[in-house]
Amino acid sequence: MERNKIKRFFAVLIVLILVLFLVSGCISNTQGQHDKSFFAMDTVMTFRVYGDRSAKKAMNKAIDRIKEIESHMSSTHKDSDVVKINKAAGVEPVKVHDDTFYVIKKAVEYGKLSNGALDITIRPIVELWGITSDKPRVPSQEEIEEKLALVDYNKVVLDEDKKTVFLENEGMGIDLGAIAKGFAADEAVRILREAGVESALLNLGGNVITIGSNPDGRPWRIGIQDPRTEETGQPHFTIVGVTDATVVSSGDYERYIEEVYEKTGERYHHIFDPRTGYPAQAGLIACTIITSSSIDADALSTILFVMGREEGLKLIEGLDNIEGIAVTTDKEIYTTEGLKASLIPSNDNYRIVD
């Protein structure tokens, strides 16, 4: 495991421990509790499922399903659908698994909804910067412009009948990092529910999903990570109580070029603006989406971060049963109307704006 992955492993593990600490204080009956941590989709994942032996069996089945999805949608697994699509760019359509087709179709729809704030053809830019690799770098403007010409979700051609995907231009590439984990989370929930699980807490590396309430019947209390914990010394900036919901957060704190940040204070992070080819700079350091569908929350958390507070929250307000939180660079917290009265402050370094 490379140096950056090891650091991310422990960073995510700390967050998972904090989340479990928050909810464990609300649980007095731990009979039938099944816990498991594992590494998938380039992050640490932790499951806590309540129930009998069938619940434990379902938990293991859900984990296997996540790993199956990763094998199809990874940008680095040599036999994945995504790698095959990228290799065949400008040459020929590629037949893919139904799951992959669904996720790509969903991503293209979100590309249209956000006017390109989410664009899965961002792969050439991702590779150019190499933020998550062992050799990240800041490319030249000329290099960025060259790769940016290959980014256009409108050039993803989908054949519904044949389940094929075609990228029109050679050199194009897709990356499902902003949406595949959400789909995997939804699939895990589906499997657990079908097995009769009524209470569970899943954390897929920042994608937190709850089934039902905690075993005491109260909502799960989820702490949302402080994006500047190295400055504040606090683990989270607010707490939300949720039942049957997914809480997905994104921010510039997750992965960035540490060497550049230490020298200049400039945070070149992994969430790119497809319109500029640079890490998004829309005045936010973090954002969170709360809804019932993790695939939607995954996509929308990226969209909100790229679009910024005003434009992003306006888009989310227009969607049904979806709430959002935007944290600005000056540590102000803005939310959609449905969340204004329900956030529990937990950090004096941040201010909730009415």
For residues 323 and 290, the answer to whether their CB atoms sit within 8 Å is yes
**Which pLDDT does position 266 carry in this prediction?**
87
**Which pLDDT does position 292 carry in this prediction?**
97
Per mean pLDDT, which range of 70-74, 76-80, 88-92, 120-124 is the poorest? Answer: 76-80
Per-domain residue ranges of the chain: 1-354
**Which pLDDT does position 152 carry in this prediction?**
98
| Residues in contact with 276: Cβ distance below 8 Å, sequence separation at least 6, in sequence order | 144, 148
- Give the integer Cα–Cα distance in Å for 306 and 302: 6
What are the DSSP calls for 133-183, one per residue? SSS-----HHHHHHHHTT--GGGEEEETTTTEEEESSTT-----TTTHHHH
Asked whether the predicted pLDDT for residue 7 surpasses 50, the reply is: no
Quick count: other Cβ atoms within 10 Å of Cβ 343?
A: 17
State the pLDDT confidence band at 9, using cuts at 50, 70 and 90: very low
State the pLDDT confidence band at 31, using cuts at 50, 70 and 90: low
Interval 244-270: pLDDT, tens: 999 999 999 988 888 887 888 889 999
In DSSP terms, which residues pair with 47 in a beta bridge?
Answer: 36, 202
Q: 199: which 2 tokens?
A: 């209470």
As a whole number, mean pLDDT of residues 213-236 equals 94
Asked whether the predicted pLDDT for residue 109 surpasses 60, the reply is: yes
Q: 3: which 2 tokens?
A: 């140096």
Asked whether the predicted pLDDT for residue 339 surpasses 90, the reply is: yes
Which residues of the chain form beta strands (DSSP E)? Answer: 33-40, 43-50, 94-95, 156-159, 164-167, 199-204, 207-211, 220-225, 236-242, 246-251, 284-291, 323-328, 332-335, 344-345, 351-352
Interval 276-321: pLDDT, tens: 999 999 999 999 999 999 999 999 999 999 999 999 999 999 999 9
**Which pLDDT does position 341 carry in this prediction?**
84
Size of the chain in residues: 354
Rg (CA), the chain: 20
- Widest CA span of the chain, in angstroms? 60
**Coil/strand/helix, residue 248:** strand
Task: Please report where in the chains the tokens 């990226």 appear, as a residue.
Answer: 302
Q: 89: which 2 tokens?
A: 């760019």
User: β-strands 351-352, 332-335: how paired?
Assistant: parallel
For domain 1-354, which architecture applies? Roll (3.10)
Interval 190-212: pLDDT, tens: 999 999 999 999 999 989 999 99
Give percent above pLDDT 70 in the chain.
Answer: 91
Asked whether the predicted pLDDT for residue 23 surpasses 80, the reply is: no
**Coil/strand/helix, residue 20:** helix
Asked whether the predicted pLDDT for residue 133 surpasses 90, the reply is: no
Q: 221: which 2 tokens?
A: 């209390």
As a whole number, mean pLDDT of residues 214-232 equals 94
**Residue 162 or 261, more confident:** 162
Task: Please report where in the chains the tokens 């590396």 appear, as a residue.
Answer: 205
For residues 95 and 163, the answer to whether their CB atoms sit within 8 Å is yes
Phi/psi of residue 127, nearest 5 degrees:
-65, -35
Mean pLDDT of the chain: 91
